[in-house]
Amino acid sequence: MATRIKICGLRTAQDVAAAVACGADDIGLVFFPKSPRNLDFDAAAELALTVPLGVRKVGLVVDMDDAALDDLLARVPLDMLQLHGSETPERVADIRARSGLPVMKAIGVATADDLVGLDDYMAVCEQILVDAKAPKDADLPGGNGHTFDWSVLGDVNWKVPWMLAGGLRPSNVADAIRQTGAPMVDVSSGVERAPGVKNPDAIRDFCAAVRGI
């Protein structure tokens, strides 16, 4: 089966067109004010109109409260939520019920210890995203371009579909897939020319590297 590709942090119609032209399956819209990829809800609603049917629009949120979440869902047509904060399994279940959308929970990984609570999350969400754990002093909990030791994923008994993220780039994504067997990959900073500014050539190279496996 073809590896599913998500390109995250798209901010313009040109970004969307580049990702779609290269065969991206999912596009990520970031709703986190500290991020250089942040979108306000009006801009996201407009951008969503440019995404063809069949390409999944994933809304990335970080510990968003119910009021903001309700507002987001009322204004932007999303197909999935990516929870990239410190949401507990109970909060993930709440958001899933409240939103009625499939939910992907991000887990930050540095060592195998970070995977200890994984079963509790797999019980309450449709999909898991494994990302590099952000450094303690980082402004962002993801989107930092850091990789992690992929070998720690070797012993995981996956009970839901999973996606690999964290420092993926055109030059390492094929190795990452070969080493981990990831069925889905996600990239943000690895296909940018500057924080929040996507590079269409890098998006093309990334997708070609994935499809070339």
Ligand X SMILES: O=C(O)c1ccccc1N[C@@H]1O[C@H](COP(=O)(O)O)[C@@H](O)[C@H]1O
207 is catalytic: no
State in angstroms the smallest separation of the CB of 71 from ligand X: 19
Kindly state whether residue 165 participates in binding ligand X, applying the rule CB under 6 A: yes
Question: H or E element: which one contains 42?
Answer: helix 41-48
User: Could you tell me if 52 and 83 are in contact, meaning their C-beta atoms sit under 8 angstroms apart?
Assistant: no
State in angstroms the smallest separation of the CB of 66 from ligand X: 19
Exactly one of 37, 57, 96, 105 binds ligand X (CB under 6 A); which one? 37
Kindly state whether residue 142 participates in binding ligand X, applying the rule CB under 6 A: yes
Question: Distance (Å, rounded) from C-alpha 54 to C-alpha 65?
Answer: 29
Other Cβ atoms less than 10 A from the Cβ of 9: the count is: 27
Question: H or E element: which one contains 5?
Answer: strand 4-8
Kindly state whether residue 180 participates in binding ligand X, applying the rule CB under 6 A: no
Question: Distance (Å, rounded) from C-alpha 168 to C-alpha 188?
Answer: 8
- Tokens representing 55? 């390409």
- Tokens representing 2? 């073809």
Residue span 45-64 as binding mask against ligand X, x where in contact by CB under 6 A, dash where not: ---------------x-x--
Exactly one of 15, 26, 87, 186 binds ligand X (CB under 6 A); which one? 186
Kindly state whether residue 189 participates in binding ligand X, applying the rule CB under 6 A: yes
Closest Cα partner for 28 from 2, 1, 48? 48
Choice between 8 and 207, CB closer to ligand X:
8
Under rule CB under 6 A, which residues in 102-131 are in contact with ligand X? 129, 131
Kindly state whether residue 35 participates in binding ligand X, applying the rule CB under 6 A: yes
Q: Is 142 exposed, middle or buried (0-12, 13-18, 19+ CB in 10 A)?
A: buried
In single-letter form, the type of residue at position 1 comes to: M
User: Could you tell me if 130 and 162 are in contact, meaning their C-beta atoms sit under 8 angstroms apart?
Assistant: yes
State in angstroms the smallest separation of the CB of 80 from ligand X: 12
Residue span 65-104 as binding mask against ligand X, x where in contact by CB under 6 A, dash where not: -------------------x--------------------
Tokens 């995977």 found at: 115
26 is catalytic: no
**Which residues in this chain contact ligand X in the complex, by CB under 6 A?**
8-9, 28, 30, 32, 35, 37, 60, 62, 84, 129, 131, 140-145, 165-168, 186-190
Active site residues: 8, 131
